[in-house]
Amino acid sequence: MRSITIALATAKEATRQPSFFVLAFLAGSSLICSIFVSYFTFGEDIKMYKDTGLTTISFASLLLALLTASSTVADEIEGKTAITLLSKPINRRQFIVGKFLGIELGVLALFALLGTVFAMGVWYKYGYDLRESAGSFAESAKRWDQVRQVLPGLALGFFEVTVLASVSVAISTRLPMLVNLVVCIAIFFLGHLSPVLVEATRGNTLELVSFMARLFEWILPSLEFFNAGPSISTGALIPWMGYVVPALGYCALYSGAALLFAFLLFEDRDLA
């Protein structure tokens, strides 16, 4: 119950900070303007729009999670605000869990907002492209089929941000905002590239390079698991039970491990 109280307060702070409105405006404007951009894909612009739209939403939500984690965890610890909160009947673990859940609620609000704009954009763009290229009108059922196809991608994008938010909370217990941003963005790119690095260094004569690639793959989250853009852009329908639900399990396990690590880092942190 105490964690829920902290979570609601953190979510309010996340949705009221200027970065929330700036990110929502920039990402929303990008999603709307991209509808009318020609990708020169010979009638396949809708596929590119889906891919770029999912990436835009995930990256904007990731930035919000990182900024909120830094401002609500690191800044409160450095500014001695956390010690006032923890002087009440709230332990450190409840503090961390509450902050993480609050960040998740703020990210979910941004995801819901941008996801709605994106779904409307997909619905409109399918008919717009068909009208521009063939001069015909799209059936409503086919438009909704396009929207349903991107919904698993939005869920996977939220899972990806959840994993990185848990890592950011753990880092925020010890390090300031700038370091947190750099480390988490590095994890974001390395988490997507680690499978490629392992494959590229397979059989490499430099054992150190191959070892580092395998180490990254083992330690860092496999974020490519959540990358639905390539599949969706080819027109494939990602199964909810066969793929999205296992991805949710992986997200829960990795996020739980990151929060346990956050407990260890925060347990002996001097707040005075």
What's the domain range around 107? 2-267
Indicate if the pLDDT at residue 184 is higher than 80: yes
Q: Is 88 exposed, middle or buried (0-12, 13-18, 19+ CB in 10 A)?
A: exposed
Weakest-pLDDT range from 6-10, 155-159, 199-203, 253-257: 199-203
Weakest-pLDDT range from 39-48, 92-101, 108-117, 184-193: 39-48
The answer to whether residue 13 is domain-embedded is: yes
The answer to whether residue 272 is domain-embedded is: no
Give the count of domains, the chain.
1
The answer to whether residue 76 is domain-embedded is: yes
The answer to whether residue 72 is domain-embedded is: yes
- d(Cα 91, Cα 80) in Å, to the nearest integer? 16
The answer to whether residue 211 is domain-embedded is: yes
The answer to whether residue 131 is domain-embedded is: yes
The string of DSSP codes covering the chain is -HHHHHHHHHHHHHHHSHHHHHHHHHHHHHHHHGGG----SSS-HHHHHHHHHHHHHHHHHHHHHHHHHIIIIIHHHHTTHHHHHHTSS--HHHHHHHHHHHHHHHHHHHHHHHHHHHHHHHHHHHHHHHHHHHS----HHHHHHHHHHHHHHHHHHHHHHHHHHHHHHHHHTTS-HHHHHHHHHHHHHHHHHHHHHHHHTTT-S-HHHHHHHHHHHHHS--GGGG--HHHHHTT----IIIIIHHHHHHHHHHHHHHHHHHHHHHHT----
The answer to whether residue 185 is domain-embedded is: yes
Indicate if the pLDDT at residue 117 is higher than 90: yes
The average confidence (pLDDT) of the chain is 85
The answer to whether residue 255 is domain-embedded is: yes
What is the per-residue pLDDT across 213-251, written as a single tens digit (0 to 9) for each?
Answer: 777 778 888 888 898 877 877 777 889 898 999 999 999
